[in-house]
Amino acid sequence: MDAKLTAELKRIEQDFRKKLLESEKYDIDEKTNLTQNLAQAALEKTRTDFFGKKSHLQKVLHKIGNAKPQERAEQGVAINLLKEKMLLEFEKTREKVEKQIREQKLQKEKIDTSMPERTHKIGALHPTPQVIEEAIAIFAEMGFVCAEGPDVEDDFHNFVALNFPPEHPARQMHDTFYLQAGKKESVDEKLLEKWLLRTHTSPVQVRTMLQGKLPIRVIAPGRCYRSDSDQTHTPMFHQIEGLVIDQSSHFGHLKTCLSDFVRAFFENENVPIRFRPSYFPFTEPSAEMDIACRREDGKINILTSKDEEKLEWMEILGCGMVHPNVLRACNLEPEKYQGFAFGMGVERIAMLKYAIADLRTFFDGDSAWLQHYGFSPLDAPALARGLRAQNF
Ligand code: DAH
């Protein structure tokens, strides 16, 4: 065979070996994976350089096209033999490099069984909406529906219609947030001056009665605001209002309705209950409802008998028969219609039921607190299923 060609093939083979060795030489860097990529890139380059369309071998094959047929066959065989040999070597090197990469990866992926497990946090429903849902479930069973009103109220709905005339001393108990007057030319200035953040949910009573659809049997859960802040008061809190208006509901119905509610809510059939005379401008007679409990190590336990030692009465709501002045302000004749109303603090009954010590913690937005006191969001309370959702 042509000595020149033999030498050329030898040179190609040598070059090829050199390149293969180089691509093997890349150590694989654990941290960056960089050399792993370099090793693969070098191998790929060797493949195209030596077996691609523009490779030296291909050029040589082209060249022998001009040789005599006898020589051409002989040379073709020699070139193809070399090509096959090189391909085999290439495959071996590639396998070697790939094995190395795999092993390196496996080593890096070693599982450390002593590592602490990764925690999986599930969201939780805040006790305030939880307790509102529980109350809705109980009152719904008694035939109540939900009503709503705005957080920004006017003086008429929050006070006047509820029998708090201007200058009435009971207004002072409410520490009202008044809103600033708006642009004088666009809105009635006097009205704007009287806008406020509702201090209780009782204005929803007024709005419901003014709609004039009787009989009425509603509860109204919602936010209230008072300029007050200490361990038992926050500037924003929640109440649930209740209102029943028809031609016959009396104080006996009020007592049964609220006693049934309290027993169902606290899941305690025997909780001692007492109604104590009180004063609210919008009810007459008015009462506050207390339940029996005992304080132990900062915790409040609800009792099941009046005879227990160290008994304390804890106020949980205000109630009464709707005052005739309120009925009149809402265009209802007191000679024809009557009924009762009640209002309770959501956070207060939540604290009692779920042994939460400080009211302010409800509004801290602390996720650890929520994990502790929160409820499963997919386990909404319903009487048929049991009222108390699962605590985490
Ligand atoms: N609105 C009262 C308050 O915030 C609570 C209340 C008392 C509501 C008696 C009522 C009621 O409907 O009848 O202090």
What are the pLDDT digits (tens) for 47-86? 899 988 888 888 888 888 888 888 888 888 888 888 999 9
Q: Which domain holds residue 52?
A: 3-108
Q: How confident is the model at residue 97 (pLDDT cuts 50, 70, 90)?
A: confident
Residue 392 lies in a domain: no
8 A C-beta contact, residue 86 and residue 13: yes
Rg (CA), the chain: 42
CB atoms within 10 A of CB 129: 16
Q: Is residue 208 part of a domain?
A: yes
Q: Is 392's pLDDT higher than 60?
A: no
Together in a domain, 188 and 323: yes
- Domain ends where: 76, 108, 140? 108
The Å distance, Cα 270 to ligand 1 centre, comes to 25
Q: Does this model's pTM top 0.75?
A: no
- Neighbouring CB atoms inside 10 A of 252's CB total 9
Residues 104 and 132 in one domain: no
Report CA dihedral (108, 110, 114, 119) to the nearest 10 degrees: 80
Residue 318 vs residues 35, 215, 289, 307: alpha-carbon distances, Å: 77, 22, 6, 25
Residues with CB under 6 A from ligand 1: 200, 202, 241, 280, 283, 318-320, 341-343
Residues 249 and 316 in one domain: yes
pLDDT at 221: 98
Give the number of domains in the chain: 2
80, 108, 136 — which closes off a domain?
A: 108
Whether residue 154 sits in one domain with residue 71 = no
What pLDDT score does 230 carry? 83
Distance 98 CA to ligand 1 centre (A): 78
Instruction: Evaluate whether residue 121 is within a structural domain.
Output: no
Domain of 201: which CATH number? 3.30.930.10
Same domain, 66 and 178: no
Q: Is the domain of 100 the same as that of 140?
A: no
Query: 8 CA to middle of ligand 1, Å?
Result: 105
Residue 107 has which token pair? Answer: 């080593």
Q: What is the pLDDT of residues 29-44, one digit of tens each?
A: 656 666 667 778 888 8
Ligand 1 test: best mutation among 208, 253, 280, most atoms within 8 Å of CB?
A: 280
Q: Looking at residues 204-228, what average pLDDT do you find?
A: 97
Residue where a domain stops, chosen among 108, 135, 164: 108
Return the ligand 1 atom nearest residue 239 CA.
Answer: 4
